[in-house]
Amino acid sequence: MGFKEEIKRRRTFGIISHPDAGKTTLTEKLLLFGGAIHVAGAVKSNKIKKTATSDFMEIERQRGISVATSVMGFEYKGHKINILDTPGHQDFAEDTFRTLTACDSVIIVIDVAKGVEAQTRKLMQVCRMRKTPVIVFINKMDRSGKDAFDLLDEIETELQISVNPLSWPINMGPDFKGVYNIYQKNLSLFTPATQTIQETIEFDDLSNPKLEEYIGDDAEILREEIELVSGVYPELDLQEYLDAKIAPVFFGSALNNFGVRELLDAFIQIAPSPRPCQTVERVIEPTEEKFSGFIFKIHANMDPNHRDRIAFVKIVSGVFRRNTAYLHVRNGKKLKFSSPTAFMAEKKSIIEEAYPGDIVGLHDTGNFKIGDTLTEGEKINFKGIPSFSPELFKYIENADPMKSKQLAKGVDQLMDEGVAQLFTSQFNGRKVIGTVGALQFEVIEYRLLHEYSASCRWEHINLHKACWIKSNDEEQLTEFKKAKFQFIAKDKHGRDVFLADSSYMLQMAQNNYPKLEFHFTSEF
């Protein structure tokens, strides 16, 4: 197969949802279709149930042993599919944001009874920002939930995207009969089953009285609803989906393995193959001959005896080859990788080469941080992996004077992994850790102790938000920094950060210094 065909047949995507909507279940069913697993229950949920650090650590340890769960690759009908795992817990939303930068498209799972939930809304914001094409899967149709039309309206309003149903449910809950597949003009009848795959019935003319034989009285309702649907929602314009303006919608029940094949079959047809990627310097096309890629995730080994890490690189262009020297653009070093790993469902294996869209795990001894670029020599820097304004802050102090080096190293590496952000106060030189979730402080403390033998102590600091500041007006910038000297810090890259202690203070600053830009993501 040629290079271009390899690119064309790849689909790299993430599944996102509010916890409990059915992301894990859907992932598992997709893997079943791909023959990547053979029994249900094989995919470990990455859910943190007790919101406790111990629980998180347990999950991380399991995942550390089987990092394969980070990326699940499989073959389906001639396509190479890569599903990227995203943490569901809101405290780890930033991990999910970063993983989304490596996704060429996204499937959003929505619980038919609960509709659009908080986490879905947040993640969709990121998709909108990045113009990632999304497909919506409305799950749990075997349970009573919201009316399909109402739900579609809710999605349009809440997620700020137009929708276009490609399948339509026939009743729901205990009376759920199945779905009519508008896209492929066939009928799938529902029978609760978790392991089998339902057959579909070709059915392109709904006025055919045979419909009554299959679904009885619901036939008339279906006809009316489909007529309504075709009136309200014109035929899907693929380009609009690819431009992230319209989200195709499917209905089903992941648990019952129902509607999943329709979803997957449409997905391989319409979802984008690897897309061009923006660097600071220029746009990189996947078909360019020279290899390039970026690190979007770093996975630490939780085993203290093996303190290595795995850096996940998304291949953007060209062919990545084993044992070939590539330029690590940020530090100017050439690096070779003797055991790059690829992930096929449950197992990982060393690969010789990988194509755009693929995710490769690189053994890392501390060279990488999130956002790093690898190339064959060109000095480009991929964009789009911003840090977000943290909202929780604590001073970090060394609790063991004998271990200050270990602490510094640990903090440094954990920040590279993207666990949290470090700010150094320009006022008193103290180090402030900022996070998006409360759990991270416990995670940092635990990991510093177990992986670096360092002890830290947290001290309260009253802060509302950190934002990056910039101005073309040097004078006003200097004036601001002088006036707010107690609240000025540097981030890890030496950029100026304003640590506002209240929303009022932030607002006042924005009003009083109109020539200053206040940024809430690190990339602007």
CB of 194 to ligand GDP, least distance (A): 9
User: Smallest distance from the beta carbon of 260 to ligand GDP, in angstroms?
Assistant: 9
Closer by beta carbon to ligand GDP, 254 or else 266: 254
Count, residues in the chain = 524
- What is the rounded CA–CA span in Å between residue 429 and residue 438? 24
Distance between first and last Cα of the chain: 40
Q: What residue has token string 């509010």?
A: 18
Q: 264 — alpha (psi -120 to 50), left (phi > 0) or beta? A: alpha
For residue 501, the minimal CB distance to ligand GDP (Å) is 36
Judged by CB, which is closer to ligand GDP: 142, or 491?
A: 142
Q: Is 474 helix (H, G, I), strand (E, B) or coil?
A: helix
Residue 499 CA to residue 488 CA, distance in Å, equals 6
For ligand GDP, give the closer residue by CB, 142 or 358: 142
- Nearer to ligand GDP by C-beta: 107 or 432? 107
CB of 217 to ligand GDP, least distance (A): 24
Is residue 86 part of an annotated ligand binding site?
Answer: yes
Q: How many CB atoms lie within 10 A of CB 35?
A: 11
124 versus 432: smaller Cβ distance to ligand GDP: 124
Check whether 336 is labelled as a binding-site residue: no
**C-alpha dist (Å) from residue 318 to 143, 361, 370:** 46, 17, 21
* Matching residue, tokens 């609790």: 399
> Least distance to ligand GDP from the beta carbon of 320, Å?
31
Residue with smaller CB distance to ligand GDP, 19 or 384: 19
Query: Which residues pair with residue 250 across a beta bridge?
Result: 137
Residue 89, annotated ligand binder?
A: yes
Quick count: other Cβ atoms within 10 Å of Cβ 91?
Answer: 20
Nearest distance, CB of residue 117 and ligand GDP, angstroms: 10
23 is in an annotated binding site: yes
| Shortest Å, Cβ 152 to ligand GDP | 18
Distance of CA 404 to the CA centre of its chain: 35
> Is 314 annotated to bind ligand?
no
Tokens of 412: 């440094």
Q: Closest approach of Cβ 454 to ligand GDP, in Å?
A: 34
- Helices 118-130 and 93-100 cross at an angle (nearest 10°) of 30
Q: Please check if 24 is assigned to a binding site.
A: yes
**Helices 53-65 + 439-452 axis angle, to 10:** 50
What's CA 433's distance to the chain center, in Å? Answer: 23
H/E element holding 276? none
- Residue closer to ligand GDP, measured from CB, 142 or 451: 142
For ligand GDP, the binding residues (CB under 6 A) are 17, 19-25, 45, 47, 88, 139-140, 142-143, 253-256
Q: Is 19 annotated as a binding residue?
A: yes
Asked if residue 111 belongs to a known ligand binding site, the reply is: no
Using the minimum distance from each CB to ligand GDP, give the nearer residue, 29 or 431: 29
> Taking the CA atoms of the chain, what radius of gyration do you get in angstroms?
25
142 annotated among ligand-binding-site residues: yes
Residue 85 annotated in ligand binding? yes
**Cα(268)–Cα(517) distance, integer angstroms:** 42
Quick one: three-class SS letters along 128-143?
Answer: HHHCCCEEEEEECCCC
Binding positions: 17-24, 85-89, 139-142
Binding positions for GTP: 17-24, 85-89, 139-142
